[in-house]
Copies of this chain bind each other. A is one copy, B any other.
Amino acid sequence: MGAPGAAEARERIRRGEHAGPTAGLAPGYAQANLVILPEEHALDFLRFCVRNPKPCPLLEVTDTGSPVPRTLAPGADLRTDVPRYRVYERGKLVEEPADILPRWRGDLVCFLLGCSFTFERALLAAGLRLAHVEQGRNVPMYVTNRRCAPSGPFAGPLVVSMRPYRPEEVPRAVSVSARYPAMHGAPVHVGRPEALGIKDLGRPDFGDAVILGEGEIPVFWACGVTPQAVALQAGLPLVITHSPGHMFVTDRRDAEYEV
C-alpha cells in the first residue's frame, strides 16, 4: 500500500464513484494505456511494441489469464479498475462498458503502455503551457504517413499528438519530455505537419483542433493511440482497450520513469 492516492482512485473507479476521464486523478502517479487481446496474438503484438517503442512503450504485460498488473499495481484488477472500456469484435466497437467481468476469458493478456500524462505534467512543471488544456479540449491527434515496423497481423501508421509551442520554448519541451522514454519520450517531429502527411492541423483524426498562437510551432509526439489503432485494424475476434482518456491509474510515481 505504498500508493494510497492511486489505490483510492482505483477503489472509487471500481465502485463506480468515478466514471469519467482520469486526467488530474491521483496527481503524481503514472497512468497507462490498456490493450487486452487473446494469447494467440500476444507474441506478435509484443513484438510490434518492441519494434515501435516510441508510440508503444511497454510498461507491463500480464500473465495469460491474469488481470493483475503485478509490477504497476499488485492490488489492482484490470477488469474493473478502468472507468470505461471499449470492446471490439473483428475491429468493430460493440460495447463501452464500465467493467469487463462478463467478457473476461482465461486466454486474455493485458498490455499496459506509457501515457503522455506523465510528460505533460513535467511540461507544466517546467513552465510550459498545454494549449489543449487551456482551451478546454482533448489533445489533437493525427494519422501520419509514417509506417510502423509491422509484426504479424499488426501494421499501420504512426499516430501523433500535437502541442504548439513558441520557438524559444521548443528546446525545453524536447528536453523535458525526453526524460521520460517510457512515456513516449522526446517529440518525433518539430514544425512541418506536411512532412508527416498532415494536410490540415485544423482537422485532427482524433481529439479536438487547438488554436495555435501567433508564431507558435506544432510539436508532434508519438501517441498511444497508435497501438490501439493497429490492434483494431488487425481484425482480431476480440480486443479490449480503455476508452479514450479513461486510463489505468498505477501505483508507480511519474518520477520513477524519469531518466
Contact = CB atoms under 8 A, between A and B. Distances in A.
Contact of A185 (B39, B43, B149, B259): B259
A47 B47 CA distance: 11
Interface string A52-94: 0000001011011000001100000000000000000000000
A60 B50 contact: yes
Interface residues of A, number: 23
Given A43-B46, A46-B43, A60-B50, A179 B70 contact: no
| Copies of this chain per assembly | 2
Given A39-B43, A43-B46, A46-B46, A259 B179 contact: yes
A42 B47 CA distance: 10
Interface in A136-193: 149, 151-152, 178-179, 181, 185-186
Interface in A198-245: none
B63 A151 contact: yes
B51 A259 contact: no
A64 B58 CA distance: 20
A245 to B, nearest CB: 25
Instruction: Tell me what chain A mostly uses at the interface: helix, strand, loop, or mixed.
Output: mixed
Contacts of A42: 43
A131 to B, nearest CB: 25
A253 to B, nearest CB: 16
Contacts of A152: 63
A50 B186 CA distance: 21
A50 B60 CA distance: 6
B149 A70 contact: yes
Contacts of A179: 259
13 contacts: A39-B43, A42-B43, A43-B46, A43-B64, A46-B46, A46-B47, A46-B61, A47-B61, A47-B63, A51-B71, A71-B149, A178-B259, A181-B181
Given A51-B61, A178-B259, A181-B181, 12 more contacts: A39-B43, A43-B43, A46-B47, A46-B50, A47-B61, A50-B58, A50-B60, A51-B71, A63-B152, A71-B149, A181-B259, A185-B259
